[in-house]
Amino acid sequence: MNAIEKTNDFVFQTYLRQGKAFVRGEGSFLWDEDGKKYLDFLSGIAVCSLGHCHPRITKAITTQASTLVHVSNLFYTRPQADLAAKLCEKSFADRVFFANSGAEANEAAIKLARRYFQKKGEKNRFKIIAMEQSFHGRTMATLSATGQDKIKEGFYPLLEGFSFVPFNNINALKEKIDETVCAVMLEPVQGEGGIIPADPEYLKAVRELCDKTGTLLIFDEIQCGMGRCGTLFAHELYSITPDIMTLAKALGNGFPIGAMLAAKDAATGFDYGSHATTFGGTPLAAAAALEVVNIISEKAFLDQVCTRGQYFKKQLENLKDKHDQVIDVRGKGLLLGLELSLEGDTNAAFFVEKLMGKGFIINGIQDKILRFAPSLIIENSEIDRLISVLDTIL
């Protein structure tokens, strides 16, 4: 049996997989088991931001794997300490909680926000306002915080205390927020919702509203953070800071790790025994992530992401000018979306399949949007190759 047959026979069928099994990756390229080469414009869904098998990340993992892999969080380890210090140094935060995934990081953020107020005696202040079309994860709490009904189907009843307002609509948020709300939770750039950036004035108004009402502000930067938008953290584009931020995906460049960061006051919501995880921030995961942060946080690297992102967006806008079925190009840095006006049975999956046949990997979201999240080391010439093929398909 080959990998595809064995997977179909023994793995839960929760993913509608494309019919390829990949065996090797290097930089922005992948190879399938038949030896065919692909340019990867998805990067494991915005995960392998430094490309596949980056030599410095590979070295960090192999060196640490030969030294110490796991001892549990009942003890101290140097890689975790160094990573926490580096993340705090590079951000607004004073404390970091390490987890294994984005959903777990968001779960920690939700728990921290609720416990912060309950420790202060405000037992009825537990509600969280999130955004329509948001995506925060697949656990019961993060599913409850997600503003897309289609992925909640079959899992009711969800956790109580979550409500939703339209993204980029400050008046809707003002109407909903009251003394029972502990936090507002949003993505500075909505990923799964359609690659929708927050309006600068909106995000500024959200911060002011949270300050006025004493509400915690949580930014989910699991997809849009870690250099993806041209700054180390996406909210830096807006010159405001949250009280709590979550990271994952690109933080380990493919090695599973998540992190929940908090400013000093918000961090007081957790104390000994209030939250835990067996595998969060292992020496192996932390060593990989530390090297990722060291590389991505370099100014020259981030400047290059901005330049490549502007170039890519311009080429997509040229397609919009040329083809009537392209109705919008949006995004930040190297997280970009192409919205299409499609008829009949044609949807985004049609373009995904056609591009894969030509040796390019992308994916479709919301049925009509093509998502591009290549490695942050993608070259202009590689962007040109994708654009040329996409132009022909359109």
Three-state secondary-structure class, residue 212: helix
Instruction: Report whether pLDDT(345) > 80.
Output: no
- pLDDT tens-digit profile of 63-89? 999 999 999 999 999 999 999 999 999
**Confidence band (pLDDT; 50, 70, 90) for 279?**
very high
CA–CA distance, 75 with 77 (Å, rounded to integer):
7
Q: What pLDDT, on the 0 to 100 scale, is given for residue 343?
A: 81
- pLDDT tens-digit profile of 289-303? 999 999 999 999 999
**Confidence band (pLDDT; 50, 70, 90) for 308?**
very high
Q: What pLDDT, on the 0 to 100 scale, is given for residue 309?
A: 98
Instruction: Report whether pLDDT(287) > 80.
Output: yes
- Characterize 164-183 residue by residue with b for buried, 16 or more Cβ atoms within 10 angstroms of its Cβ, and e for exposed: bbebbebebbeeebeeebbb
Q: What pLDDT, on the 0 to 100 scale, is given for residue 38?
A: 98
- pLDDT tens-digit profile of 369-389? 999 999 999 999 999 999 999
- pLDDT tens-digit profile of 206-241? 999 999 999 999 999 999 999 999 999 999 999 999
Q: Which of 236, 288, 337, 316 is nearest to 49 (CA)?
A: 288
Mean pLDDT to the nearest integer, 325-353: 93
- N-to-C CA span, the chain: 37
Q: What pLDDT, on the 0 to 100 scale, is given for residue 344?
A: 77
Helix (H) or strand (E) holding 363: strand 363-365
DSSP 228-241: TTSSSSGGGGGT--
Mean pLDDT to the nearest integer, 149-156: 95
Question: Residue 110 is which amino acid?
Answer: I
Q: What pLDDT, on the 0 to 100 scale, is given for residue 120?
A: 95
Average pLDDT of the chain is: 97
Structural domain 68-296, CATH architecture: 3-Layer(aba) Sandwich (3.40)
For the beta carbon of residue 218, count every other beta carbon within 10 angstroms. Answer: 29
User: In the chain, where are the structural domains located?
Assistant: 3-55+299-393, 68-296
- pLDDT tens-digit profile of 92-142? 999 999 999 999 999 999 999 999 999 999 999 999 999 999 999 999 999
- Characterize 66-81 residue by residue with b for buried, 16 or more Cβ atoms within 10 angstroms of its Cβ, and e for exposed: eeeeeeebeeebebbe
Q: What pLDDT, on the 0 to 100 scale, is given for residue 19?
A: 84
Beta-bridged to residue 361, according to DSSP, are 40
Q: What pLDDT, on the 0 to 100 scale, is given for residue 222?
A: 98
CA–CA distance, 23 with 47 (Å, rounded to integer):
17
- pLDDT tens-digit profile of 15-67? 988 889 999 999 999 999 999 999 999 999 999 999 999 999 999 999 999 99
The CATH number, out of the four listed (3.10.20.600, 1.20.120.140, 3.90.1150.10, 3.40.50.2000), of the domain defined by the range 3-55+299-393: 3.90.1150.10
Q: What pLDDT, on the 0 to 100 scale, is given for residue 18?
A: 87
Tell me the CA distances in angstroms from 166 to 134, 202, 356, one per residue in order: 10, 12, 34
**223 burial type by CB count under 10 A (0-12 exposed, 13-18 middle, 19+ buried):** buried
CB contact at 8 A, 248 and 222: yes
Q: Which of 338, 317, 390, 329 is nearest to 360 (CA)?
A: 390
